[in-house]
Amino acid sequence: MELFKNIKQKDWSTMVSRPTIDKEQLDQIVNTILKNVKEDGDNALRAYTQKFDNVDLAEFLVSEAEIQKAKKLVSKELMQAINIAKQNIEKFHKSQFIDEKVIETSVGVECWRKSVAIEKVGLYIPGGSAPLFSTVLMLGVPAKLANCEEVVLCTPSNDQGEINPAILYTANLIGITKIYKVGGAQAVAAMAYGTETIPQVYKIFGPGNQFVTKAKELVQQSGISIDMPAGPSEVLVIADKTGNPEYIAADLLSQAEHGADSQVILLSDCENILTQTLIQLEKQVLLLPRSETAKKALSNSKAFLLNNMEDCMDFSNLYAPEHLIIASNDASKYIDKVINAGSVFLGNYSCESAGDYASGTNHTLPTNGYARNYSGVSLDSFQKKITFQKISKEGIQAIGPSIEIMAESEQLFAHKNAVTLRLKDV
């Protein structure tokens, strides 16, 4: 992890770039996958599953027998932990239901909104070296709360054609029955276009590597909605002199271990905190089973010594991190200064892992700077808002003349006439 000191503010914009694959090569690879799956359906999926996951699958749909077998392989301790997390996630997302009110904008003119579930949604669950059963909770719980009619889940299998038991247990716990053994960009293509086996959906959710993220971005051009660009994971930690270097290093590594293309950033106005954290990083990374992955991510990562906490907040808002940790005893006083971030963790005990698993907030968040204009997944992500209006005779009399004048000024006389005819009758 490289340390930078005395970086001038005018140079910050060059320091916030993320590690990326060559864009032209990435586009070409993913476009080819999308085209092949769209044209050849299940045959293309089998070819890609064999190529990328080293397994030849006769069936993509997970059977009831496989689900029952998986449930026996999950320990009681893990089941209990998943259940606690599920309860907290449900509690937080249930609080997001809104009681929409009918608003009378003028006499006799009533307007309101209605929340309607998106009928068919697809959930992508990473399942390679780190099978994210926690993401099943983060996506499946709000999908079920929203009453989405059809929920399709895609996740890659291992080379034995098996899905991690915890993923199957969690999906079953939530009530998801359509689970398919397909991963990568090809899974996104399958859910976007539909195949002989996998149903087409209207919106696709879930994090993934740069191939998955690019696939999601490209299928939008076919009218398929996505939650957000959610690519390689990232965290930015802002620490003052009251931060704990041991905790900070652990938080940085918790994101670095996700993948070699992950990035972690550390900002501080205290040089001693930076020095001690870098020492802790060197110690702790050696103890991780995913040490080599974390080391590669750290090689793409940076630490900055800035003048003061205000500069740290400004740099963070420019970077727009997926996860923002403010490691300070006074973290709450910086809440109003947070403008761009996916999810924020305040204080020395608010580890990012809590949000990943069990605090209740959603961990599917915008990455790569998209926190400037995207929110994380919520109940609203699985709903669409339909507006209604009801206009009485008194209402059309109240606003009709204004509509006529505006329509005529825009040279849209049919619009005007639709009002004029009604005004004559009342």
Q: Phi, psi at residue 16, to the nearest 5°?
A: -105, 10
* 93 noted as active-site residue: no
Task: Decide the pairing of beta strands 234-239 and 178-180.
Answer: unpaired
Asked if 93 and 142 count as a contact pair (C-beta separation under 8 A), the reply is yes
| DSSP states of 309-365 | HHHHHHHHHHH--SEEEEESTTGGGGGGG--S-SEEEESTT--HHHHHHTSSS----
Distance (Å, whole) CA 79 – CA 82: 5
Buried b (16+ CB within 10 A) or exposed e, 175-203: ebebbbbbbbbbbbbbbbbbbeebeebbb
Strands (E), 149-294: 150-154, 178-180, 203-205, 225-226, 234-239, 263-268
| DSSP states of 276-320 | HHHHHHHHHHTT-TTHHHHHHHHHT-EEEE-SSHHHHHHHHHHH-
Task: Decide the pairing of beta strands 120-124 and 150-154.
Answer: parallel
Instruction: Select which of 257, 323, 352, 363 is catalytic.
Output: 323
Helix (H) or strand (E) holding 405: helix 393-409
List beta partners, residue 114. 386
∠ at Cα 321 (219, 249), nearest 5°? 125
Task: Decide the pairing of beta strands 109-117 and 383-391.
Answer: antiparallel
Number of Cα atoms under 13 Å in the Cβ half of residue 82: 25
Instruction: Select which of 322, 352, 363, 404 is catalytic.
Output: 322
User: If you ran DSSP here, which 8-state letter would residue 380 be given?
Assistant: G
Task: Decide the pairing of beta strands 103-106 and 109-117.
Answer: antiparallel
79: exposed, middle or buried (Cβ count in 10 Å: 0-12, 13-18, 19+): middle
* 310 noted as active-site residue: no
Q: What positions carry a catalytic annotation? A: 322-323
